Structure 1
Amino acid sequence: MLSRNIETLIDTYWQSTIGYKYLHGNLHADVTDSSYDNVTADQWQTIDFNTSQALSTRIIGEEYQCNMIFATILIVISGLLVLASLATIALMNATRVPDILGYISSFTRDNPYATFEQASHIDGLERARELREMNMTVGDVNPRGDIGHIAFAATVEVHRLKEDRLYD
């Protein structure tokens, strides 16, 4: 509503002050006539009525342009991501130990293979800070059994994991 009213106000101003000579008609049929360019309404006003040149364009289809800097950055980052995924696959195949997520200190709590006296009310970061001198290993704590047992251990003899052995 506001836009329409402002448009009407500007059109009214133009028609009543500057463009009144063009409202009566009787214009030349030749638009290249110099009377349309820089028409003088009064001695102090100049109207640029037809100062643009005619341009024609033909649209065949969409045209895309490539910024070489961004394309290079994209290719480098994509290559690094491919290398990282290949390294992940290689490490996943070479690793025999299961993923250990979270705080390592939580594996020492109530663990018969890692006895370390600590208060039970401290949080994971404080517990990890107190355990920083303790050497821990993930390995087989049941090497003589038919099925091995993988545990986070410090106090018992831990054997390396074997590829052809079953674990629980």
Structure 2
Amino acid sequence: MGRYRTTPMDLWGNVKLPLYRTIENSTSDEWKFVPNGTADNVTYASLIGIPIAGPPSVGISSFNIEARQFDVTCSSNNASRGEPIDFVSKYTWQLQVVNDTAPPPCKKNGTSCAPPVCASYPCPIRSESLVDSDTGKYSVANCGLSFEKYEIGVRCNGTECAAYKMRKMYLYDEDYPIGYDIALRRQFMATALLAMTSADNFNMPSAEARGATTMEKWLQDPLDFTGVFFGNVELYKLSPQVFGDRLTIMYNTFWQSTYASRAIGGNLPASVMETGTMNFTQAQRADANITFVATEANVSQDTTPMYKTDWGWFAALLVCSIILLAAAYTGLVLKYITIAPDIIGYASSLTLLNPYVPTPTGGTTLTGLARTALMRDYPVRIGDVCPNEAVGAIAFARADRNVGKLDRKRFYI
């Protein structure tokens, strides 16, 4: 059980809820986010989680759930001499609600007083654990028990889920009206506290001889609490904060174990999706007294990439590729058959002070655009301006002058 104390899911695969108090001051926003990293960064409020059914076996899913949980905070945890007046001698450990007002008088015949009532939250409770029966030494802790409702964001990677955010909500709603809460505080809470402390030594003739209960041992050391040990524990050595945190985990675990036990144990269908709607018929057979809350989830799945040919786009790509390929080869052919050097940049610049091109009116003072406009009707050519010489000369010249064509077999300077 020590292994699952810090895991986001219990040993049956239920989602555990963080202890809200430990993340309450992490941000000023309404939603408090559970810290990332190792599980040791998170304190969970119970060893038992909330049963969920329906996350897909693959993919990422996220959804919100609502739940209530108890929280115990302690103001003191000390050793006390002398048996407390309200301690029941047949137990080694006792948890009880403490009256806000003066306790009622007890009968002289040894019967117990009227049970105290929790008027509001936090409800004052006291823990009394036997340390040494010979000296009458006890561990006595004064604490407050609260009950709150929360909304929890859950994110799953396949069937591995964890709570990643949490916020406090109003305790009462249509499913849990104030009348239910009054009954819880006046009747069930004191009974649950008594039942939890005597769960493993109920009706034993000599609880003191048996020693500390398993729960007391767990409170002292959650990693070393099993085995034969006929002795008592020293819970007073724990700080009030540590004792309160561990008592919170224990009380929530005990409380949750009393309802929907077959569902908590994992007796849920692997898939509850049928025709797009939630079907909990099979799950409800696990326990006729439980009611499931249908929660809408966002699911995303990473699938294997699949490529499919769009024949229309394929045809367009093929035609364009053929045209571009033809244009490339055409340019290569033209470059091969062209003899004249590639010297044309700004054509008007080639006419400036060129003896083979007549100078327009304006001379060298003309701009490039003006020169081009004046010479727009002149036919020009890059050719041999010395066609009758043994060695030719290539120049940019007016075509109607004595300009010969270029020849691959002729020499040029």
| C-alpha deviation, 1:129, in angstroms | 1.2
CA pair 7-124 structure 1, distance change in 2 beyond 3 A? farther
Q: How does 1:5-154 map to 2 (within 5 A)?
A: 6=31, 8=33, 11=152, 12-13=166-167, 24=256, 26-28=261-263, 29-32=266-269, 33-35=282-284, 47-49=293-295, 62-119=305-362, 120-154=364-398
Structure 2 CA distance for aligned equivalents of residues 10 and 67 of structure 1 = 47
Deviations, residues 62-89 of structure 1 (Å, cap 9, x unaligned): 4322232332222111111110011112
Q: Which has the higher contact order (CA 8 A, sep 6+)?
A: 2
CA pair 13-162 structure 1, distance change in 2 beyond 3 A? same
| C-alpha deviation, 1:27, in angstroms | 5.0
| C-alpha deviation, 1:30, in angstroms | 2.5
Structure 2 unmatched ranges of 5 or more: 1-25, 34-149, 153-165, 174-252, 270-281
Letter in 2 for 1:125: L
Structure 2 CA distance for aligned equivalents of residues 10 and 118 of structure 1 = 91
CA pair 67-140 structure 1, distance change in 2 beyond 3 A? same
Per the alignment, residue 158 of structure 1 pairs with 403
Structure 2 CA distance for aligned equivalents of residues 48 and 147 of structure 1 = 98
Letter in 2 for 1:158: V
Structure 1 unmatched ranges of 5 or more: 42-46, 52-56
> TM-score by structure 2 length?
0.31
CA pair 7-145 structure 1, distance change in 2 beyond 3 A? farther
2:32–2:167 contact (8 Å) kept in structure 1: no
Letter in 2 for 1:150: I
Deviations, residues 127-149 of structure 1 (Å, cap 9, x unaligned): 11111121212210011223211
CA pair 50-162 structure 1, distance change in 2 beyond 3 A? closer
Letter in 2 for 1:112: P
Structure 2 CA distance for aligned equivalents of residues 105 and 50 of structure 1 = 75
Structure 2 CA distance for aligned equivalents of residues 129 and 138 of structure 1 = 20
SS in 1 for 2:316: helix
SS in 2 for 1:139: strand
**Greater strand share, 1 or 2?**
2
Deviations, residues 94-143 of structure 1 (Å, cap 9, x unaligned): 21212233221111111011122343333322211111121212210011
Matched length? 153
Deviations, residues 26-73 of structure 1 (Å, cap 9, x unaligned): 35232223339xx857xxxxx31599xxxxx9x7x6432223233222
| C-alpha deviation, 1:16, in angstroms | 7.5
Q: Whose Rg is larger? A: 2
Per the alignment, residue 412 of structure 2 pairs with 167
| C-alpha deviation, 1:91, in angstroms | 1.2
Letter in 2 for 1:95: T
Structure 1 CA distance for aligned equivalents of residues 296 and 355 of structure 2 = 94
Greater shift, 132-141 or 92-101, is seen at 92-101
SS in 2 for 1:116: coil
Stretches of 4+ aligned residues off by more than 4 angstroms: 14-18
| Identity value in percent | 25
> TM-score by structure 1 length?
0.69
Structure 2 CA distance for aligned equivalents of residues 103 and 6 of structure 1 = 69
Greater shift, 105-114 or 23-32, is seen at 23-32
